Structure 1
C-alpha cells in the first residue's frame, strides 16, 4: 500500500507554531510522514525538533537538506540528534539543490554535485554508526571524528534527491531512498530504471530503495482557484528556478512545452506561463480542483507502480486554511 506523506512549506507559514500545528494535524489525520524543506525561510532542523516533541507517531524528515550549507559531519550529528528526539522516526533527505540557491544565497561554489552528494551520504552514514570516521574523498577528508553521545538506534535512513539519470542512479546505489519531484506520471518510469541500475551497482534491489514522489496538490471548494494555484507553482519551478527543472521536464517528452514555459516566465509573462501549465501539464503533475476532483486525480498517483509514498505538496500561494483544507481532503 502506498504511503501518504505531507510536504510542509516551512518558510511560508505565518509563524513557526502554525507550521508545527500543521504537522500535528497531519498526524491526527493519519499521514505516514511529514517532510520539511529548507530553502529561504525558517531552518528545517528547529521546526523538526519542535515537531518531534509535539507528536508521537508520524515520521519526520528533511526533503531536502542541501549538501553545501552544512558539512557532512554536521549533517550526521543532526540526523543522530533528530533520531533521538523523535524516538526513531527520522529520515535524512539530502541533495545538491541548484546554483541559484547554493551560489546566490549561500555563497558556495556549486561544483560537481554528484560526487559531493555521494561523499556526504557516505560520511553521514559513518557518523550515525557511532564508529570513528575515517574518510578520504575528493571533497572531504576526515580522521578521528566520533559521536560523543550514544549512536542512534536504529540508524536513521539517508535518502537522496535527484532529477537526472546519473543523480537517480546515485540515489539507488548509495542512499536508502530517492526523492522525486517535478515528474509527470508517465515520465517517472524511465528514471525508475536508472534507480534500479544504481541499486544493482550497490548490491541491492529496487525494493531496498524507498521512492517518494512529491505531487502538487490543492483541494478547495473553489476548484478554479485550486487549479490556478497548482499551475502557478509548477510554472514557478520550471520557469524561475534555473534550468534543472526545465531540463527534467524536457527529458520526459515535453521539450517544447518546457522551453515555452521557461522562456515565457523569463520574459516576465508569468500569467501566460501558468496558463500553459494549466492547459498542458497540470493533470500529469498535480492533483487540483474541487475536493472530489482532487481526490480522483490523487488516486491516480497512488496507483503508480514503483512508488512507495506520495508526498502531498502544497502550492506556494496557498494560505494556511487552504493547506489545511487540502490536507484534510487527501488524508488516508
Structure 2
C-alpha cells in the first residue's frame, strides 16, 4: 500500500508556528510523514525540530538538505540531534541542489555533485554509527571525529534526491531511498529502472528502500483556481529553478514544452510561460481540480509500480485555506 506524506509549504508562511500548525493538522488527518524543504526561507532544521516537539506520531523528514552548505560531520550531528528530538521519527533527505542555489546563494563551487553526495552519505552514516570517522575520499579526508553523545538508535534512514539517470542510480546504490519531484508516470518508470540498477550494484535490499514521489496537489471547489495555481507552480519549477527540472521534463518526452517554458520564464514572460503548460502535461505532473476529481486522480500516481509513498505538495501561491482544503480532501 502506498503511504501518503505531506510536503509542507515554505513559501509565504508567516511563522514557524504556522508550519507547526500545518504539521499538527497533517498528523490529525493521518498522514505518514511531514517533509520540509530548505530553500530561501526558514532553515529546515529549526522548523523540523519545532514540529517534532509539537507532534507525537507523524514522521518528519528533510527534503532536501543540500550537501554543500553544511559539512558532512555537521549534517551527521544534525541528524543525530533531530532523531533524538523526534524520538526516532526522522528520515534524512540529502541532495546536491543546483548551481543557482549553491553558487548564487552559498558562494560555493558546484563541483562533482554526484561524488560529493555519495561521500556525504558515507560520512553521515559513519557519524550516526557512533564510531570514530576515518575517511579518505576524493573530496573529503577526515580523521578523528566522533559523536560525544549516544548515537541514535535506530539511526535515521538517508534518502537522496535525484532527477537524472546517474543521480537516481546513486540513490539506489548508496542511500536508503530516493526522493522524486515533478515526474510523470512514464518518467518514473524510466528512473525507477535506474534506481533498481543502483540497488543491484550496491547489493542493497530493495525491500528496505523507499521511493517517495512528490506530486503538486490542489483540490478546491473552484476548479479553475486549483488548476491555475498548479499550473503556475509547475511553470516555476521548469522555468525558475535552474536547468535541472527543464532537462528532467525533456527526458520525459516534453522537450519542446520544457524549452518554451524555460525560455519564456527567463525572458520575463511569466504569463505565457504558465500558459504553455497545457492540460495534458498538467494532469501528467499534478493533481488539480475539484475534490471529486482529485480523489479519483491521486490513485493514478499511487498505482505507479515501485513508488512507496506519495508526497502531497502544494502550489507555491496557495493560501492557507487552499492548503487545508487539499489536505482534508486527500487525507489517507
Is 2:11–2:316's contact at 8 Å kept on the other side of the alignment? no
- Given the alignment of the two structures, is residue 140 of structure 1 paired with residue 110 of structure 2, yes or no? no
**What is the CA–CA distance in structure 2 between the aligned matches of 1:280 and 1:66, rounded to whole Å?**
32
Is 1:10–1:44's contact at 8 Å kept on the other side of the alignment? no
Is 1:11–1:39's contact at 8 Å kept on the other side of the alignment? no
Is 2:79–2:92's contact at 8 Å kept on the other side of the alignment? yes
Q: Deviations over 1:97-141 (max 9, x none)?
A: 111111111111111100000000000000000111110111111
Matched residue, 2:264: 264
Secondary structure, in 3 states, of the residue corresponding to 1:76?
Answer: helix
Matched residue, 1:318: 318
Matched residue, 1:237: 237
**What is the CA–CA distance in structure 1 between the aligned matches of 2:229 and 2:278, rounded to whole Å?**
10
Matched residue, 1:207: 207
**What is the CA–CA distance in structure 1 between the aligned matches of 2:51 and 2:261, rounded to whole Å?**
37
In the TM superposition, residue 53 of structure 1 has moved relative to its aligned partner by 0.8
In the TM superposition, residue 10 of structure 1 has moved relative to its aligned partner by 2.5
In the TM superposition, residue 208 of structure 1 has moved relative to its aligned partner by 3.0
Question: Runs of 5+ in structure 2 lacking a partner?
Answer: none
1:116-195 pair list within 5 angstroms: 116-195=116-195
In the TM superposition, residue 183 of structure 1 has moved relative to its aligned partner by 0.6
TM-score (structure 2 length as normaliser):
0.98
TM-score (structure 1 length as normaliser):
0.98
Matched residue, 1:98: 98
Matched residue, 1:38: 38
In the TM superposition, residue 279 of structure 1 has moved relative to its aligned partner by 2.8
In the TM superposition, residue 11 of structure 1 has moved relative to its aligned partner by 4.2
Greater Cα offset, 170-179 or 271-280: 271-280
1:275-314 pair list within 5 angstroms: 275-314=275-314
In the TM superposition, residue 84 of structure 1 has moved relative to its aligned partner by 0.6
**What is the CA–CA distance in structure 1 between the aligned matches of 2:298 and 2:105, rounded to whole Å?**
34
**What is the CA–CA distance in structure 1 between the aligned matches of 2:279 and 2:25, rounded to whole Å?**
33
Q: Please identify runs of 4+ aligned residues in structure 1 that moved more than 3 A.
A: none
In the TM superposition, residue 274 of structure 1 has moved relative to its aligned partner by 1.2
Matched residue, 2:87: 87
In the TM superposition, residue 207 of structure 1 has moved relative to its aligned partner by 2.4
Q: Deviations over 1:71-98 (max 9, x none)?
A: 0000000110011111100010000011
